Amino acid sequence: MYQIREVERITGLTRRQIDYLDRSSLVEATYHSSGGKKQARFWSFVDLVALRTVRKLREENVSLQKIRKVHVYVKRTWPDLGNHLAQLTFYVLGSGQEVLVLGPDDQFPVSALRAQGQQVLVLPGVDVIQEVKEAIRQLADDPLSPEEARESSQAWQDYIEGKDPGETLAEVRAELLGDLKEKRRA
């Protein structure tokens, strides 16, 4: 699980953008604490992939309104995916005017669009996963700031005192098995 400072560095989004995406329920933090005046939020690896995907689509001039429509479509079409956008491939056409989404086993004749002179950005979720993993590796090499160390210490103390139950063993196992399945596919 990752805190806001780490999420900013891994996804390349600002705190304000992340807050907006969380509040608007487009990409919510997996865990919200209920203690104190400041609510702690934590994002999972899957959340990071979703946030990074939103950032990449925005970089291609896809509006948040269009991203929201795509997100609703994805949830309705592939309800078993949850927020795991890495199993999808996004095609951005015409400088962000149109977004096509293909599911895990779908194929699309992109060469036909390119032959017509259409500019096409292909954004496979697997590539976004690799970017997030690399950003996490880089993050692990950086030392904690004094404030980050205090927050980490407080989170650990909350866990010890039972204020934060943490992730269950089943959740950790599912996440690890999901990563292993991805590695086998690659």
> SS3 for 18?
helix
Amino acid at 39: Q
Angle at 168 between CA 163 and CA 172, to 5 degrees: 130
Contacts of 108 (CB under 8 A, 6+ apart): 89, 91, 100, 102
**Residue 83 DSSP label:** T
What pLDDT does residue 112 have?
43
Buried b (16+ CB within 10 A) or exposed e, 130-166: ebbbebeeeeeeeeeeeeeeebeeebeebeeeeebee
62-85 pLDDT, tens digit per residue, is 888 888 888 888 888 878 776 667
Is 18 exposed, middle or buried, given 0-12, 13-18 or 19+ CB atoms closer than 10 A?
Answer: buried
What pLDDT does residue 121 have?
61
What pLDDT does residue 158 have?
74
Average pLDDT over residues 57-66: 87
Taking the C-alpha atoms of 143, 180, 122 and 43 in order, what is their torsion angle to the nearest 10 degrees? -40
Please choose, from the candidates 52, 67, 3, the residue with its C-alpha nearest in 3D space to the C-alpha of residue 29: 3
